[in-house]
Amino acid sequence: MTALDGNEAIFLGHNDPDIAEPPHGSDDEKLRLELLHRATRRYANGRQCAVDACVRDGELRAWQLSTTCFPAAEVRLVVPGKVPGLVLDMARLGSLELGRDDLVRALRPLVTGYRKWLTEQGSRVESDPEIARYGDAGERAVAEARDVADRLERAIELLRTDGIAREAFRFANQAMALQRVRSEVVRARMSAPGADVSGLLRRLDVPDNRSWRPFQLAFVLLCLPGLTNPAHADAHRGLGDPGNAEVQLLFFPTGGGKTEAYLGLAAYTFAIRRLQGVVGSGPDAYDGTRGIAVLMRYTLRLLTAQQFQRASALVCACEMLRRERVEAGDSRWGTTPFRIGLWVGSSVSPNSFEEAERQITESRGSEKVLGGVLQLPVCPWCGSRLSSANVQTNRLRRRVLVYCSDPEGDCAFSPRNSPDEGLPVLTVDEEIYRLTPGLVIATVDKLAQLPWKAATATLFGLVDTECTRHGWQNPDFRSFCGPGGHPARADLPRVVIQPAMRLRPPDLIIQDELHLISDALGSMVGLYETAIDRLSSRGPIRPVLVASTATVRRARDQVEQVFARGLTVFPPPVLDAGETYFSATVPPSPSTPGRRYRGILAPGERLKSVEIRVASALMELAQFLFDRYGAAADPYMTLVDYFTATRELAGMRRLVEDDITDRLRSQQVRTRRRAPIVQELTGRMPSSRIAESLADLEHRFDPELDSTAALDELRRDPDGARARSEARGSRPIDILLATSMLQVGVDVQRLGLMAVTGQPKNAAEYIQATSRVGRSPARPGLVVTIYQWSRPRDLAHYESFGYDHATFGLRVEGLTTTPFSDRALDRGLTGVLVTLLRHSGVSSLPNVAAHSVPLSGPFAAALLDAIATRAEAVTHEAQRAAAVRAELQHRLDRWYARRQAVQTGRLGYKEAPDVNGLLREPDEGAWDLWSAPMSMREVEAEILLQLDRDDRSVGDAPAWSYERSTSGGPA
């Protein structure tokens, strides 16, 4: 459809100023979003079809509208902004040759360039009438961005005036440079295991592989004052005013490099704590040279597994720098190694040394450690493959040591170079409690263990004695580490238990993928955050809290509900979607391809038939491209098939093994000559397989082995085929079947092809999942979405395909958390109360301390005040705060009554011999006042549904019946 002359642009968009009412309403965030996306317009909606609108460059009206059954949309690539004069090379910023003034000059262009850009944006607000239609939204956006520019300038001034901060900043840059280069070495060796490490280092240690993106460096600077000096005006840690505390939200598209930004912050936190040493004095003194500095929290085990691998390289880099400084005579860096710990459920990693030792013994001779003791598929420092043979135990020290498998022993973490420590990684809960690694990566579910385990107190620095052989003392460790110490054994000296200063609690908490903290899980996390926040604070000084996401709506409300803090979003959006000075969107071109989306709707066809045809066509065409272009087509040889439900995925697996394989073999031009290798990435995957599965996805297709011509040649020479196949090892994955587990944290650069079956339930899931492909401009992504014609919601998205994909930010739904609702209080308030009382001091930690911990008096009153005050700050309801206080007092009264009712033995936090348990596990009968969750997800009780196949008691029972099994087993 065109104008009569076939050329004039006459079709107006829905928000065209000539026909649309001026935006209005009380929702400031919605107004800001409409301002950002004002240049994107919907010209028409289809009916059982989609619509393409043709708009010429520089125009806002369409000159042609046409219907299409195979709509396409391309999401533009987001590229880092360019800042002339800014030094981004991490090695250069970390160089000792860069003096104080040189460092300031290297960073100053970041602020001067940003201020100049904001001046231009301010001029647009004053002169552009279309922006004026959105009221003062534009002015407020520019003002907020100017506040960020002021903070960046003050951070650079801090580096100029504070020598310790400057030294810590240099250390962080040196560590990040090493981490980035070593990560590239590992990536290269995963593709070519025999490659020489020293040769790779010479080739890969170049500025392109060790440079910040401007937004990463700016975000690190933004957070430095809070990590350096809680009294700084930009610390936002609640000193003097709890309401002053803020969450620093890193808001950037997926694949943009958010992880590197907060890894840089982690390295800075490591350094500043060691250099500042003991802070405070007397009873308020805290030792910052040891203890957990950074707590990174995730919601999914897949996230923890992959981020553990990435963060391990940083910790190795920090440990190497520490060793160098100590050898040079700088004792400030201490003798305690920088370590990283993985603190997740027992299904992923063992809880005790005995459990870990058993798993290692059982796995001898296999390629992996069963149960998850070994969470690293390769050495994060040199890329050498790891297996169970590289894991050793030391029973006297109760240590599980993971060594690099480098056959030459040249790696710094091989048995020859690091005999007492190996790789600085801890995956056993007991070791994490005893040794308190500087960085702990955890799932939020694990925080539910706080009221149940005394040992968790060490995570927040609550210690008073130390065994130099085993680590921090705790009531949970009395069985192997008593007050008398240990005699000399083998090559270990005699040990005497020594008094210890309280450790500095975590200074930095990182909550990745903030959008997953929502609904029931978000409510429980928000409630338990009441305890985490208090345990991580030094008096009035709250920890720095950093969050990141690529998709969020109503973030300010969510942050207030979960963390009881304000919010700073970085980079702050200003006037145009995707344009923040630190980043920009670019039109699709051969050098800057976006991610292309295609939609398919087949009215009247069975969904399974469509799935078979789409998967077969994609795999066939991928093989065709691979035969023609070789390695350049590798990203499309692995088809990622995404499903919103495990049930649908299971059905597709059968289709792949039968229909799709047969269809590929029966094509006139036979493409895939072998049965496809299929892999799942779902919640039902064993945790011990996660790291290995992610590594399998990195395996590339080889033109000499996987092209059609090569397969024909190998058929003629079976012996040669077998030898070459064995030399390669594992075959690459043909099809990856995935559910929501894929949508966050999976960073496999080579993936480029995805099929999505059905529109996911929310826009954030769709954006996050489809962003797992095409994460590199060298490997553009293609996403094919199969819509179900019988679902009205799918049909609506298909009919507005182009506009929906052009306005991802507008489509993201708001998140809801209610941490102080009646249901959340019923499930979590007891756990929070017991956590705060049990972790109030070392004397309150033993199990039987439940019989003596103060339940009244000034401390208990102050505790109730703090929780009620937080409830009022979150809900803005004094009545709700009063109800929370009443619930807490009721629990304290019942606790006291339980003490008085004990006839024999004593009251303990949990049941033990001669101890009456205060708390009850969720599976111990009906939920009552003293039930406490073992996981954040235990909000709703589970039931077992059994069907009697012979029951005909229902009058309108269906005519069908179960098929009887002839073998005696299930039908």
* Domain of residue 328, CATH code: 3.40.50.300
Give the pLDDT band (50/70/90) at residue 877: very high
Give me the domain span that covers residue 97: 90-349+428-464+500-570
**pLDDT of 304 higher than 80:** no
Residue 563 has a pLDDT of 95
Other CB atoms within 10 Å distance of the CB of residue 660: 25
Which residues lie closer than 8 Å to 755 by C-beta, 6 or more apart?
611, 614, 615, 618, 639, 640, 641, 642, 783, 784, 785, 786
For residue 117 the two structure tokens come to 């850009």
Q: Is 380 within a domain?
A: no
Mean pLDDT within 899-918: 91
Residue 29 has a pLDDT of 86
Q: In whole angstroms, how far apart are CA 757 and each of 458, 648, 691, 789?
A: 46, 9, 26, 12
Beta bridge partners of 510: 296, 546
d(CA 118, CA 136): 16
Residues 690 and 616 in one domain: yes
- What is 867-918 written as a DSSP string? HHHHHHHHH--HHHHHHHHHHHHHHHHHHHHHHHH--SSEEESS-BTTEEES
- What is 713-756 written as a DSSP string? HHHH-HHHHHHHHHHH-SPPPSEEEE-GGGGTT---TT--EEEE
**Percentage helix, strand, coil, to 5, in the chain?**
45, 15, 40
Give the pLDDT band (50/70/90) at residue 368: very low
Which residue in 821, 916, 826, 835 sits closest to 448, CA to CA? 835
**pLDDT of 797 higher than 90:** yes
Which residue in 80, 63, 82 sits closest to 6, CA to CA? 63
**pLDDT of 716 higher than 80:** no
- What is 114-164 written as a DSSP string? HHHHHHHHHHHHHH-HHHHTTTTHHHHHHHHHHHHHHHHHHHHHHHHH-HH
Q: In whole angstroms, how far apart are CA 930 and each of 522, 554, 826, 855, 922?
A: 22, 34, 10, 16, 10
Q: Is 706 within a domain?
A: yes
Q: Is 840 within a domain?
A: no
Which residue do the tokens 């799942």 mark?
A: 680
Residues 107 and 182 in one domain: yes
- Residue 223: what are its φ and ψ, rounded to 5°? -95, -10
pLDDT tens profile 128-170: 998 998 889 999 999 999 999 999 999 999 999 999 999 999 9
d(CA 46, CA 113): 45
Q: In whole angstroms, how far apart are CA 508 and each of 40, 227, 550, 565, 717?
A: 39, 8, 21, 15, 59
Q: Is 726 within a domain?
A: yes
411-420, 544-553, 948-957: least confidently modelled range = 948-957
Beta bridge partners of 392: 401
Mean pLDDT within 811-816: 84
**pLDDT of 957 higher than 80:** no
Residue 436 has a pLDDT of 97
186-200, 394-408, 720-734, 811-825: least confidently modelled range = 720-734
Give the pLDDT band (50/70/90) at residue 329: very high
Q: Is 958 within a domain?
A: no
pLDDT tens profile 670-682: 555 677 888 888 8
Strands (E), 281-377: 286-287, 294-298, 340-343
Consecutive H or E run containing 771:
none
pLDDT tens profile 409-446: 899 999 999 999 999 999 999 999 999 999 999 989 89
Q: Is 314 within a domain?
A: yes
For 249, the 3-state DSSP assignment is strand
**pLDDT of 198 higher than 50:** yes
Residues 686 and 646 in one domain: yes
Residue 967 has a pLDDT of 45
Give the pLDDT band (50/70/90) at residue 209: very high
Strands (E), 244-403: 246-251, 278-279, 286-287, 294-298, 340-343, 391-394, 399-402
Other CB atoms within 10 Å distance of the CB of residue 959: 4
Residues 115 and 191 in one domain: yes
pLDDT tens profile 557-594: 999 999 999 999 999 999 998 899 999 888 888 888 88
Residue 412 has a pLDDT of 95
Give the pLDDT band (50/70/90) at residue 544: very high
Using a 10 angstrom Cβ sphere, with 0-12 exposed, 13-18 middle and 19 or more buried, the burial of residue 25 is: exposed
Residues 201 and 261 in one domain: yes
Give the pLDDT band (50/70/90) at residue 971: very low
Residue with more model confidence, 698 or 303:
698
Domain final position from 520, 553, 570: 570
271-275, 629-633, 924-928, 964-968: least confidently modelled range = 964-968
Residues 157 and 263 in one domain: yes
For residue 631 the two structure tokens come to 């390695």
Residue 946 has a pLDDT of 66
Q: Is 707 within a domain?
A: yes
**pLDDT of 461 higher than 70:** yes
Consecutive H or E run containing 704:
helix 703-706
d(CA 96, CA 173): 11
Residues 670 and 713 in one domain: yes
Burial 106-133 (b: 16+ CB within 10 A, else e): bbbebbebbbebbeebbeebeeeeebeb
d(CA 658, CA 664): 10
Residue 949 has a pLDDT of 63
* Domain of residue 744, CATH code: 3.40.50
d(CA 636, CA 647): 26
Other CB atoms within 10 Å distance of the CB of residue 188: 17
Looking at every residue in the chain, the average pLDDT score rounds to 88
Residue 277 has a pLDDT of 95
Residue 19 has a pLDDT of 80
**pLDDT of 961 higher than 80:** no
* Contact between residue 65 and residue 43 where contact means Cβ atoms under 8 Å apart: yes
Residues 614 and 537 in one domain: no
Which residues lie closer than 8 Å to 759 by C-beta, 6 or more apart?
766, 785, 787, 791, 793, 794, 797
Mean pLDDT within 350-354: 89
Consecutive H or E run containing 950:
none
Q: Is 747 within a domain?
A: yes
Residues 615 and 748 in one domain: yes
Which residue in 648, 21, 551, 548 sits closest to 296, CA to CA? 548
- What is 179-196 written as a DSSP string? HHHHHHHHHHHHHSTT--
Mean pLDDT within 196-215: 95
Mean pLDDT within 354-359: 90
Residues 615 and 549 in one domain: no
Mean pLDDT within 254-265: 90
Residue 939 has a pLDDT of 61
10-19, 246-255, 786-795: least confidently modelled range = 10-19
Residue 365 has a pLDDT of 61
**pLDDT of 57 higher than 70:** yes
15-19, 732-736, 796-800, 821-825: least confidently modelled range = 15-19
Which residues lie closer than 8 Å to 813 by C-beta, 6 or more apart?
553, 762, 763, 764
361-375, 736-750, 928-942: least confidently modelled range = 361-375
Give the pLDDT band (50/70/90) at residue 191: confident
* The residue type at 572: P
Residue 745 has a pLDDT of 63
Residue with more model confidence, 242 or 226:
226
With the CA atoms of 298, 299, 301 and 302 taken in that order, what torsion angle do they form, in degrees rounded to the nearest 10? -80
pLDDT tens profile 264-301: 999 999 999 999 999 999 889 999 999 999 999 988 77
For residue 695 the two structure tokens come to 């590594």
* Contact between residue 500 and residue 463 where contact means Cβ atoms under 8 Å apart: yes
Residues 566 and 601 in one domain: no
**pLDDT of 810 higher than 80:** yes
Residue 369 has a pLDDT of 46
For the chain, the domain total comes to 2
For residue 917 the two structure tokens come to 């348990």
Residue with more model confidence, 56 or 212:
212
Residues 559 and 610 in one domain: no
- Rg (alpha carbons) of the chain, rounded to whole number: 30
pLDDT tens profile 512-542: 888 889 888 999 999 999 999 999 999 899 9
237-251, 271-285, 355-369, 770-784: least confidently modelled range = 355-369
**pLDDT of 256 higher than 70:** yes
